[in-house]
């Protein structure tokens, strides 16, 4: 693995993609490593392709133009702007001006239109790269779902009743005391008194 490859991988720029809108026009900006020693920055509108190839010397020159102290810092700045969406694309004739970052410290690169054969190769490589990324995301999503289900099952089993759980009611709870009727009060209708049984007429 070359030194440049390591730097690009550390900055997550060995294979990065970002959709950029310019008015109604959308572009896909993407990066890759070529021959383990060249960083390729490309832009496509789905039909045409513009790209720029940078080896380590070219990166040193771009770093110097941007007033950045090291290649590592240059790539990190590019990566931060790229991942946060601070990307602007302007089309000037057959050239694309790619700007990453904000303000006076933004990084600007001029990308040039690919020939027909180059365009075919770039779009083909991009297609398989995106397909590979989708497959990798599906694997990661499946693994994450399995982990979530395992955690749910673990939580569910941990919240169940233990084998020694005391299910009997505690003293003083759940035991209704029998009500005793007051003397002279009706059991059926406690608010009314019992009527005295008629004893008939008593003659002297």
Token pair in block for residue 125:
């490589």
53 φ, ψ (degrees, to nearest 5): -100, 130
Evaluated on CA atoms 140, 85, 75, 128, the torsion sign reads positive
Residue 50 phi/psi, 5° resolution? -120, 140
pTM, to two decimals? 0.65
- The rounded distance, in Å, linking the Cα atoms of 176 and 196 is 31
Give the pLDDT score at 155.
86
Which domains does the chain possess?
3-124 (2.170.210.10)
The reported pLDDT for the residue numbered 129 is: 80
- Straight-line distance from the first to the last Cα atom of the chain, in angstroms, rounded to the nearest whole number: 133
Each residue of 48-88: pLDDT tens digit? 999 999 999 999 999 999 999 999 999 999 999 999 999 99
- Give tens-digit pLDDT for 175-194: 556 566 555 555 556 655 55
């Amino acid at each position: 693995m070359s030194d440049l490859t390591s730097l690009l991988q550390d900055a997550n720029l060995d294979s990065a993609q970002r959709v950029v809108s310019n008015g109604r026009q959308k572009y896909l900006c993407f990066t890759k490593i070529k021959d383990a020693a060249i960083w390729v920055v490309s832009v496509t509108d789905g039909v045409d392709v513009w790209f720029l190839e940078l080896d380590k010397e070219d990166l040193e020159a771009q770093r110097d133009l941007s007033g950045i102290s090291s290649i590592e810092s240059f790539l990190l700045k590019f990566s931060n702007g790229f991942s946060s969406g601070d990307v602007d694309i302007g089309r000037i004739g057959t050239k694309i001006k790619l700007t990453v970052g904000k303000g006076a410290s933004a990084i600007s690169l001029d990308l040039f239109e690919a020939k027909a054969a180059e365009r075919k190769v770039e779009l083909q490589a991009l297609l398989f790269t995106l397909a590979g990324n989708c497959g990798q995301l599906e694997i990661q999503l499946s693994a994450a779902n399995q982990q979530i289900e395992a955690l749910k099952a673990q939580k569910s089993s941990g919240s169940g009743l233990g084998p020694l759980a005391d299910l009997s009611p505690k003293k003083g709870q759940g035991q209704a005391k029998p009500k005793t009727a007051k003397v002279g009060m009706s059991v059926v209708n406690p608010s009314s008194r019992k009527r005295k049984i008629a004893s008939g007429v008593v003659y002297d």
